[in-house]
Amino acid sequence: MDNQPSSHLKKRQHTHYPNGLPHAVMPLCGDFTPLTQVIKHAHPWSQLAYSSRGVLHIETEQGLFVVPPQQALWLPPNVTHQISCLHPTRLRSLHFQAPITTSLGADILTLSVSPLLQALILEVCDWGKGYQLSDDKQRLIDVLVDQLAAAKRQDFFIPNISDKRLQPIINHFNHQPDSKQTLQDFAKQVGASTRTLHRLFVRHFAMGFNQWKQRIRIMKALALLEQDLPIKDIAATLGYDSDSSFIAAFKQQMGQPPKQYRQHN
């Protein structure tokens, strides 16, 4: 994915709790203007990074996660991460003391956000940082943690890799998602056989070249849909032969057509 020049980004500090979290769950809310970036940081508690409007771009040492409003990113304790957004975004994240979320494990997870889970996240965010814990609130937190543990896992993620044979291909499609170049074309450029390149894609991305290219295009489509662009223009920008082929690919990846996605988000 393209990163905006750092000189154009509005930097924000992350939220500090020098004495630890005041409660087991603490809301983290902010309405971000376009091209906002929360500087790279880590903390000893877990975080559920969620946006009720707008797409989050979250960089970790593992790679880049693109997180639309139907999804949230679970970040275990001490994971270094950097959050940015290209367009107006409503950050509605939650910080968790580690012991209450052991059921989610120690890995970064992309989770589907059901209507119930979304309602729970927004309810806790409405409490504000100075809330007083009550029996009712504790029961709601218990349901929230259960819903997080039960949430469907997604895989909308592009890992960082350093393979010199794949890097030119990645850079090319990152800047030209409408490119028609094939794996055979790249094989000549990078000095590796088509079969070798295919094996490398499967090894690093757990998918073949065509699937990877589709993933890159859909990730870029999420950012384009935040703008008021016609679907046909987005399809053309991403290299689809027709509106219908883009709509079908988007629906397969995101579970709904792009027009419906934009209306909901």
pLDDT digits (tens, 9 = 90+) for 209-264: 999 999 999 989 988 998 888 999 999 999 999 999 999 999 998 888 999 988 87
Closest among 56, 50, 99 to 223, alpha carbons compared: 56
In 3D space, the residue among 73, 87, 92 whose CA is nearest the CA of residue 30 turns out to be: 92
Taking phi over 0 as left and psi of -120 to 50 as alpha, with beta for the rest, 99 belongs to: alpha
Is pTM beyond 0.85? Reply is no
Give Cβ neighbours of residue 106 (< 8 Å, ≥ 6 apart). 76
Task: Count Cα neighbours of 167 within 13 Å in the Cβ-side half-sphere.
Answer: 5
DSSP code, position 155: -
Percentage of residues in the chain with pLDDT exceeding 90?
71
The mean of the pLDDT values for the chain is 91
What pLDDT is recorded for position 131?
A: 96
